Amino acid sequence: MSVSPLTSRAAHRQSPSWAVALVALVSVWVGVPVTAAAQHDLSAAERAQLQRGELVTRPALRRVGEQITFGGTSYQVIQAPLQHVWRALSDPRRYTEMLPQVRSARQVGQAGTSRAVALRHQRGPMDVRYVMNFLFEPGTHTVLFNLDETRPHDIRTGWGFIRLARRGPDHTLVSFGAMVGIDSGVVSVGLRPTLQEWILKVPLTMKWYMDRQRQPA
């Protein structure tokens, strides 16, 4: 497989301080907690949902000028040790099974702990393709991602994070946040709620994947 370098902008984004700063920025942007330490900001009902193994979602919609971005944050407890979940999350080849409606995932660039991954989402008449730059921070078990605007892309903007936190020896809390902007010509505005639902399901589809890994062959 031919792998080309990432853009210089992405390659320089490889410091833990930058990772923490971007997570904080996304937190402010979507207006919700993003770390395990911030669970006290969740309501009693949301904490009860996590205890029951359910997905907690906090949708968000923002307008900047004429551009509307949507997404939010979501949380899910997975019955698997943190290192097992991190190992799976660090392998983009698994994204077709781990992430919602991903038809293909192909690494097209790498620089240090950053990887560029070409993603394709397809369902019915909708076919969306783009490349995301992923920065993996093993020290904090955090993945940061943003749209690679130097490559062909069917969405206008996109960024976010996935952070893992240990919940005892055999459970992991997944905190996820993302905001995405689309062009009206790519998909109907009427599909925005469906796309937002897909985005916020990321921790849940990660759980489904890890649950399958526990099942005997």
Where are the chain's structural domains?
A: 8-214
The answer to whether 175 and 163 have CB atoms below 8 angstroms apart is yes
Q: Packing angle between helix 202-214 and helix 82-89, nearest 10 degrees?
A: 110
* pTM above threshold 0.85: no
The structural architecture, per CATH, of the domain 8-214 is 2-Layer Sandwich (3.30)
Reading the block at residue 169, the tokens are 């020896």
The sign of the torsion formed by the CA atoms of 17, 21, 22, 26 equals positive
Over its length of 217 residues, how does the chain's per-residue pLDDT go in tens digits?
334 344 434 434 444 444 455 555 555 555 544 444 445 578 899 999 999 999 999 999 888 777 788 899 999 999 999 999 999 999 999 999 999 888 999 999 999 899 999 998 877 777 788 888 999 999 999 999 998 888 777 777 789 999 999 998 899 999 999 998 876 555 556 677 888 898 999 999 999 999 999 876 5
